[in-house]
Amino acid sequence: MKIRFDLFPQGKTKALTMSYDDGQIFDRKLVNIFNKYGIKGTFHLNSGTFGREPFINAEEVAELYKGHEVSVHTVTHPFLDCIPVEEVVKEIIEDRKNLETLVGYPIKGMSYPFGGFNDKIVETLKILGMEYSRTVISHHDFRMPENFLTWPATCHHSDNLIETGKRFLEYDYKGKLKLMYVWGHSFEFDRENNWDLIEEFCRLMSGREDIWYATNIEIVRYVKALRSLEFSANGEIVYNPSAISVWINVDDRSVEIKGGEIIRL
């Protein structure tokens, strides 16, 4: 038996996720574009800005972002690395509570306001039960993150997006999963008058059989389930202790291991 390799759901080898901050009214147009092309996004919101110009209203959050993910961006968008840890906790927990009340599901992720964080903040997120947090660092690659609490992106949407997308599409699977992670702010499309950029990108990326279109938290949960697989000493038996199905490549074939299942490969 050949060595096994990880796969994304349904045996896919690539994943695409989009990440947008602040919750301004331009998210409405961006969500419509994502929905048109079957692209999934994560939207990091500041609950303290709801109802103010030019931000969305609290009443529209659940319906607007339906099918996508709502995530924490703190209540008031401070530099987290410039305030006391007590305020960090308050900013995150209160935002999470406010947003969870609106969407009706647990929120376990966030993005750092202004990209500001340090080791103490990362440790605080662990204590608060957060599963991931996106930085504003771009590595211009398609690698999976080593630490989801300091999650870098592939690129900002203004940074050679189409060229990077084409390079992603050309990648040939050789046993290593690839993720394209794009971040930004929807108001930037309006400010730069380049909505055609994100439309072109979504059109380019849509409908690909080898791409999993996922939110941030879906990727985190799936990867953690993959990492929890337990193999026998000879590698021929595998147990999936998680609640979700995962897929692996064994002898060049896609194998599904359902949640709670033990199978012989």
Domain layout of the chain by residue ranges:
12-217, 228-264
Give the strand pairing for 155-156 and 178-184.
Answer: parallel
For residues 75-92, average pLDDT: 98
Average pLDDT of every residue of the chain = 97
230: tokens are 């337990």
State the average pLDDT over residues 128-134. Answer: 98
What pLDDT score was predicted for residue 3? 72
Strand pairing class (14-21; 178-184): parallel
pLDDT at 174 over 90: no
- Is the pLDDT at 1 greater than 70? The verdict is no
What is the Cα–Cα distance from 159 to 171, expressed in whole angstroms? 19
Model pLDDT, residue 4: 80
Q: Which of 218, 65, 8, 252 is nearest to 132 (CA)?
A: 218
Mean pLDDT, range 45-51, rounded to an integer: 98
pLDDT the model gives residue 222 = 98
Q: Is the confidence at residue 2, as pLDDT, over 80?
A: no
Residue 105 CA: distances (Å) to CA of 1, 30, 46, 150, 160: 41, 22, 17, 23, 35
Q: What is the mean pLDDT of residues 58-77?
A: 98
Angle at 81 between CA 75 and CA 82, to 5 degrees: 85
Helix (H, G, I), strand (E, B) or coil at 28: helix
String of b and e for 215-230 (b: at least 16 CB within 10 Å)?
A: bbbbbbbbbebbeebe
* Percent over 90 (pLDDT), the chain: 96
**Tokens at 133, concatenated:** 């947090």
- Gap between the Cα atoms of 69 and 31, Å rounded: 11
Q: Write phi, then psi, for 25 (nearest 5 degrees).
A: -60, -20
Query: What mean pLDDT is predicted for residues 129-134?
Result: 98
Q: What is the mean pLDDT of residues 64-90?
A: 98
- The string of DSSP letters for 57-114 reads PGGGHHHHTTTSEEEE--SS---GGGS-HHHHHHHHHHHHHHHHHHHSS---EEE-GG
User: How do residues 231-258 score in pLDDT, each as one tens digit?
Assistant: 999 989 999 999 999 999 998 899 999 9
The three-class DSSP label of residue 187 is helix
Dihedral of alpha carbons 224, 156, 109, 117, sign = positive
The pair phi, psi for residue 137, each rounded to 5°, is: -85, 135
Give the per-residue SS3 of 118-170.
CHHHHHHHHHCCCCEEEEEEECCCCCCCCCHHHEEECEECCCCHHHHHHHHHH
pLDDT above 70 (res 220):
yes
Pick the CATH number of 12-217 from 3.40.50.880, 3.20.20.370, 3.40.50.2020, 3.40.50.80: 3.20.20.370
